[in-house]
Amino acid sequence: MVNSMTSVGRMAVAAASIFGMANAHMFIAEPKPLQGYSPKDPLDKSGSNFPCHGAPLPSSGGQKIAAGETFPLKLELGSGGNTAVHGGGSCQLAVTYETDSTKAADPSSWNVIYSIEGGCPANAAANLNTARPCTSDGEAECVHSWDVPMPKGIKSGNAILSWTWFNTIGNREMYQNCVNVDITGGTGDEMGSFPPLFVANIGDKSGGCETEESTDVLFPSPGQYVTTMSATAGKNWPKATPKACGGSGGSAPQPTSYGSASAASSTPAAQASSASASSAPAYTAPAVSSGVQSYMNQKGRETATTFATAVAAPSSEASAAAPAPTGYSSGSSSSGTSSNATSNGDCEPCSEDGALVCIGDSQFGICDHSCAVPRDLAAGTVCADGVIGAASKSRFARRHAHFNAHVRKH
94 close to 162: Cβ distance less than 8 angstroms: yes
Please give the pLDDT value at position 287: 33
φ/ψ of residue 102, rounded to 5: -65, -45
Are the beta carbons of 333 and 354 closer than 8 angstroms? yes
Range 400-403 contact pairs with CB under 8 angstroms and sequence separation of 24 or more: 400/262, 400/263, 400/264, 400/265, 400/302, 400/310, 400/311, 400/312, 401/262, 401/263, 401/309, 401/310, 401/311, 403/70, 403/147, 403/263, 403/264, 403/265, 403/266
Give Cβ neighbours of residue 370 (< 8 Å, ≥ 6 apart): 349, 350, 351, 353
Does the residue 226 lie in any domain? yes
Residue 191 in any domain: the answer is yes
What is the tens place of the pLDDT at every residue in 66-113? 999 999 999 999 999 999 999 999 999 999 999 999 999 999 999 999
Residue pair 132/121 in contact by the 8 Å Cβ criterion: no
Higher pLDDT, 39 or 213: 213
SS3 for 304-356 is EECCCCECCCCCCCCCCCECCCCCCCCCCCCCCCCECCCCCCCCEECCCCCCE
pLDDT at 351 over 80: yes
With cut-offs at 50, 70 and 90, classify the pLDDT of residue 191.
very high
Q: To the nearest whole percent, how much of the chain has pLDDT over 90? A: 48
**Strand, helix or coil for residue 12:** helix
- Domain membership of residue 398 as a residue range: 26-330+394-407
Instruction: Tell me, yes or no, if the pTM score tops 0.75.
Output: no
Of 309 and 10, the structure prediction assigns the larger pLDDT to 10
351 inside domain: no
Within 8 A by CB and 6+ apart from 109, the residues are 96, 98, 103, 196
Between 331 and 217, whose confidence is greater?
A: 217
Residue 325: the pLDDT is 33
Each residue of 230-247: pLDDT tens digit? Answer: 899 889 999 999 988 877
Contact 357, 372 (CB under 8 A): yes
Residue 352, CB half-sphere, CA atoms under 13 Å: how many?
A: 18
The answer to whether residue 360 is domain-embedded is no
Q: CB–CB of 359/338 below 8 Å?
A: no
Which pLDDT does position 106 carry in this prediction?
A: 97
**Residue 382: inside a domain, yes or no?**
no
Cβ neighbours for 18, distance < 8 A, ≥ 6 positions apart: none
Share the mean pLDDT of the chain: 72
Indicate the number of domains in the chain: 1
* CB atoms closer than 10 angstroms to residue 23: 17
**118 pLDDT tier (thresholds 50, 70, 90):** very high
- The whole-angstrom distance between residue 316's C-alpha and the CA centroid of its chain comes to 26
Comparing 92 with 301, which gets the higher pLDDT? 92
Q: What is the CATH number of the domain that holds 164?
A: 2.70.50.70
Query: Is 339 contained in some domain?
Result: no
Tell me, yes or no, whether 275 lies in a domain.
yes
Q: What are phi and psi of 12, to 5 degrees?
A: -65, -45
Please write down the long-range contacts of 314-318, taking CB distance under 8 Å and 24 or more positions apart: 314/394, 314/396, 315/259, 315/284, 317/281, 318/257, 318/281, 318/282
Task: Kindly tell me if the per-residue pLDDT of 374 is higher than 70.
Answer: yes
Q: Is 129 exposed, middle or buried (0-12, 13-18, 19+ CB in 10 A)?
A: exposed
Close Cβ partners of 344 (under 8 Å, ≥ 6 residues apart):
none
Is residue 365 scored above 60 in pLDDT?
A: yes
- Alpha-carbon distance of 179 to 61, in angstroms, equals 11
HSE value, Cβ hemisphere, 13 Å, CA-based, for 109: 17
